[in-house]
Amino acid sequence: MKVLFSTTNKHKIAEANETGKIYGIEFEQINFPYPETRDEKFENIACEGVRYVYEKVNKQVIVEDSGIIIDALNGFPGTFSAYAQKKLGNKGILNLMRDVEERNRTGKYISVVAFFDGKILKTFVGTVDGKISTRERGSSGFGYDPIFIPLGYAQTFGENPEPKKEISHRRKSVEAFCKFYVKYNEGVK
């Protein structure tokens, strides 16, 4: 089964396909950047995005909106994660957190997949808890991975991206979507 996934981020496609293959689903990248409204809710952005892309392609499609929530920064950058990564980078984020003690460096990644077929609009959420490291470590993955240490691990996702396949926010949201889609597709046949 092929599912169109509108994103400019090839890492998202690669990670989604790691999960998709377990369910016999192949995500095919299409590139229709949607205007991201200023909203603090990932779900709202993903829903608006998927409706926008559906209007363009007129086929069932998914988008994914994701980001990082840092407790010591009152949830920042949240839905502004891509913008903050571009403007501040990991060094800038670490600088904002330079006085934050180890025990308060908690945060989480969140991923929301939104599916729309012209009638049914559904969202699937995944999160992974972790800590923000004190320096950049490793260069695997993308975005905040070099400063994100998932709970229960010692290394950042940048040092060791392997656990992303099993425990990441995207693994969970995409897996929830895949479970839905397998049933949805049986109903359509």
Interaction mask 153-172, ligand IMP, x per CB under 6 A: ---------------x-x--
Nearest residue to ligand IMP, scored by beta-carbon proximity = 143
Question: At closest approach, how far in Å is the CB of 143 from ligand IMP?
Answer: 2
Task: Considering the candidates 65, 71, 117, 145, report the single residue annotated as catalytic.
Answer: 65
Q: Using an 8 Å Cβ cutoff, are 33 and 10 in contact? A: no
Among 141, 171, 172, 176, indicate the residue that binds ligand IMP (CB under 6 A): 141
Interaction mask 35-74, ligand IMP, x per CB under 6 A: ------------------------------xxxx------
Among 130, 143, 150, 161, indicate the residue that binds ligand IMP (CB under 6 A): 143
Distance CA 56, CA 60 (A): 11
How does strand 61-70 pair with strand 106-116? antiparallel
- Tell me which residues in 81-100 interact with ligand IMP (CB under 6 A): 81-82, 85
Told to judge if 65 belongs to the known catalytic residues of this protein, a careful annotator would answer yes
In the bound state with ligand IMP, the residue whose beta carbon lies nearer, of 4 and 184, is 4
Per-position DSSP letters for 49-85, written without gaps between them: HHHHHHHHH-S-EEEEEEEEEEGGGTT-BGGGHHHHH
Angle at CA of residue 56, ends 7 and 143, nearest 5°:
15
Angle at CA of residue 33, ends 48 and 6, nearest 5°:
80
Among 5, 54, 76, 109, indicate the residue that binds ligand IMP (CB under 6 A): 109
Other Cβ atoms within 10 Å of 48 Cβ, number: 18
Q: Does 123 bind ligand IMP (CB under 6 A)?
A: no
Beta-carbon contacts of 152 under 8 Å, excluding residues fewer than 6 positions away, are: none
Other Cβ atoms within 10 Å of 167 Cβ, number: 18
Among 23, 32, 52, 142, indicate the residue that binds ligand IMP (CB under 6 A): 142
Contact set with ligand IMP (CB under 6 A): 9, 65-68, 81-82, 85, 109, 141-145, 168, 170
Query: Which residues are annotated as catalytic?
Result: 65
